[in-house]
Amino acid sequence: MKRLPVLAVALLLAGACQAPQEENMKMLTPVSFSSVTINDAFWTPRLLIHKNVTLPVCIDQIENQTGRIRNFENAAKGEGEHSGIFFDDSDVYKALEGMAYSLQIEPDPGLEAKCDEWVAKFAAAQQPDGYLNTFYTLTGLENRWHDMDRHEMYCAGHMTEAAVAYYQATGRRRLLEVSERMANHMMSVFGPGKRHWVPGHEEIELALVKLYEVTGEKKYLDFAGWLLDERGHGYGSYGDDRVWPAVYYQDEVPVRELSRITGHAVRSMYLYCGMADVAAYTGDRELMAALDRLWDHVVNRNMYITGGIGQSSRNEGITEDYDLPNLTAYCETCASVGMVFWNWRMNQFTGDAKYIDVMERSLYNGALAGISLRGDRFFYVNPLESLGGHHRQEWFGCACCPSQICRFIPSVGNYAYATSEKALWVNLYMGSDVTVNLAGKEMKVHQTTAYPWDGSVALELGLQKPVKGEIRLRIPGWCKDYTVAVNGSAVSAPVEKGYVVLRSKWKDKDKIELVMTMPVEVVAADPRVKEDEGKRAVQRGPIVYCIEEVDNPEGFDNLALSEGMDFKLEKLPKRQWWGHEIMQISARTGEGEMTLIPYFAWDNREAGKMKVWIPFND
């Protein structure tokens, strides 16, 4: 077994119509998933299951099992009780966003009719002044805009994201108009010369930028920037005598002075996304400098090997540097999805593959673990060890994670490709077809691969006329050896910020082949992570592995990795894994054998113990 150097805790992994731009700082323009047709052994089954299983589950929960949609109906009538938690509106909006994304992939008249039905309920529940929040409508509008932690702007943000998604899917503006009225209402109450406000749960900031992108109304971008600037000045309040814990709410210092992630993990992710989005259009380099500092602190001191963040259930978030317990790890699914959102944005500013490395880690491990292989059960919390009592559930009282996964899975194509003036950037490897503009000419790209189980990738280009430009292929941080060939001939090309740069005058039918070696790796955590002292984890390519008791019933607690261990790869029959391809690893020594499966696939069979970090015998 090849020993790797001790790695840092994070392994030290070094649209809509465009709005008028102030000073767009982005180097790259992402290619929308609506332009990417996925035909991939790994992702296609997940997209089908999302449409056929996950969406119906979410719709049933919202309409029949909980009172979430009924809250809108009652609010429209102005009578009846509010059921559930004060922020439950957001789950309905996120589910609608997932429905809209599914429609962008594949039209479905029945699903579209369901969306229209929900949108009509939202519109009917809106107050004459534009305010829309079923909790306060049904419990007392006189109490609105009183407690900054009551998620009014959070719900408005998710409604706005859903509105943009549905407008992009159908061209219908009704929900977009509802969202604009809500935004205009908020701006009539808050802003320069008006009331101060610190949203207890960030989300509205990034949503306002999406609204700006679609409408071209700069006032929404300005309001997003104003909300960011409200933080760190002592304005945060519950509206009574209770002490506002500023650290928990990312409100302890102004955003441009941030250097450490603190408090609630999901809220931090949404804040950083909002900062990045505002900086993209305002050219605010102080915001970007703060994001650079924050990224280093998150990734190199507070991120799990799965790409998850948030160590503690006490605050659903951060404790202290290098405190990364496994059994009690929180690693909320929403936080892992947030890591995907944030790192995707950071890559667009810099063209640096290190951000995609982290994004990919969070995607394939921390986020994907949040949904069962059947698509009908969910994790809220994602520990890296279980004594057998942690299981997926049908739904949650606080259901932010199921609805988050509902909107995330169908948009996965968003993260595969990007373009710059003269280059196509390939960030994720998945079987797909996409048409992009390269140096002013239309180019079709057909990608085939068995990634993440295999490191071979092939691209075939389709061009009516030759075009001079670059194709940049990400070489993942886990890849130590690779080869590149163009039209069957090996080439040597420079690597810039983690991308191999192929410069050529491309013509129709050109073929590019990338072959990355993908050995099984045994890795160690940063020695400052005391929880993982004397332990190792196993990964192959982007996939982190774990051991489950169901595969290792004999002496599970005594299993250990050791020097000289041989690893054997085995692709399991799809019928055993609900149509998914799963690659398991058998580890053998003279003393015994253990079986490892991908972390994202655990707790899909019989209940039992699990661990990612395994004792290691030198």
Q: Are 594 and 565 in contact (CB under 8 A)?
A: no
- Known active-site residue 334: no
Which candidate, 213, 110, 220, 208, places its Cα nearest to that of 168? 213
Q: Is the peptide bond before 245 cis (omega within 30 degrees of 0)?
A: no
Helices (runs of H) and strands (runs of E) counted in the chain = 15, 23
| Matching residue, tokens 């702007």 | 153
List the beta bridge partners of residue 543. 540
Is cis: bond before 402, omega within 30 of 0? no
The string of DSSP codes covering 275-293 is: HHHHHHHH--HHHHHHHHH
Angle between helices 109-125 and 68-77 (to 10 degrees): 50
Handedness of CA 523, 528, 532, 535 (dihedral sign): positive
Among 161, 202, 217, 316, the one annotated catalytic: 316
Interatomic CA distance for residues 225 and 202, integer angstroms: 13
Task: Check 400, 406, 479, 546 and give the catalytic one.
Answer: 400
Separation between Cα atoms, residue 277 and residue 275, nearest integer Å:
6
- Report CA 445 to chain centroid distance, whole Å: 25
Contact 586, 568 (CB under 8 A): yes
Tell me if residue 531 is catalytic. no
* Euclidean distance between CA atoms 181 and 417, whole angstroms: 34
What is the CA 427 to chain-centroid distance, rounded?
15
Long-range contacts, stretch 249-258, CB < 8 angstroms, 24+ apart: 249/149, 249/198, 249/200, 250/202, 251/198, 254/229, 255/228, 255/229, 255/231, 255/287, 255/290, 256/284, 256/286, 256/287, 256/289, 256/290, 257/232, 257/290, 258/290, 258/293, 258/294
Q: Which H or E run contains 461? A: strand 456-463
- CB 443, CB 424: distance < 8 Å: yes
Active-site residue numbers?
Answer: 316, 400
